[in-house]
Copies of this chain bind each other. A is one copy, B any other.
Amino acid sequence: MSDIRVIGSYISPYVRKVLVFLETKGIAYEIDPIAPFAGNEAFARLSPLKRVPVLLDGGLVLNDSSVICQYLEDKFPEPSLYPRDIAQRARARWIEEFADTRLADGLIWRLFYERSIKKRTTGREADEAVVRQAREVDIPAALDYLETQMVADGFMFGEASIADISIACYFRTAQFVRYEIDAARWPRTAALLDRTWALPAFRKLARFEDCSLRVPLAEQRGALRAAGASLTDVTLGTGPLRPVAVRTT
């Protein structure tokens, strides 16, 4: 039995990485699904950079999705989500880093931010020049590189790993603003996304993502509970959530 709690929205790709790890490893957890780009004093104390996800394991507080995933692998080694071979493991971690930074720049911080978060948090409309730069330059450049790293079949390093999961997490959030990868131009990456999204963990989380996207904020906790999520209120019990400059990691 574990005592693990996660703070962060189902919409965040960084939170999703951690949740996919927990689901795949069969670790029980509770989630405090605070709205994206919201926080309060309790949250700031738990997250020095005011970012999600935060993982609480008993008295241990961890930040940063890469650090958290590696911790979960160390503590719950089976099934392993890092390649066994040392060189392949390093390559998988690099693909994760590439996804967390370069892929996230285009898909999340430009496209998803402009098309979704900006309106929610500032009321302003999307800057179409930024959207165009993301769709026509940044995302294709990242995909051109990723396509050279792909294998013809299966996952990048044999079994599904942190590499495939990371890539699929960012493209999943981009789907919320109707981004679809061009399978004719990047066929191997497109096929990898389909294979990864078909994993049980991604399919289960999709239910909660739908709640988070479609249900008004005030009713989300009820809807998530009804859909089977185990919720907690690490932050909500301690004061109102206000907009903060949260940048997820």
Contacts and interface: CB of A to CB of B under 8 A. Distances in A.
A87 interface: yes
Interface residues of A, number: 27
Contacts of A62: 90-91, 94
Nearest to A148: B48
Interface string A84-106: 00110111011001100110000
A220 interface: no
Consensus secondary structure, chain A interface: helix
A67 B94 contact: yes
A64 interface: yes
B102 A90 contact: no
Contacts of A102: 48-49
A249 B93 CA distance: 14
Given A60-B90, A86-B75, A97 B145 contact: no
Contact of A49 (B49, B101, B249): B101
A232 interface: no
Interface of A: 48-49, 57, 60, 62-64, 66-68, 70-71, 74-75, 86-87, 89-91, 93-94, 97-98, 101-102, 145, 249
Per CB-CB distance, the 3 closest pairs between chain A and chain B, nearest first, are A71-B90, A67-B93, A74-B86
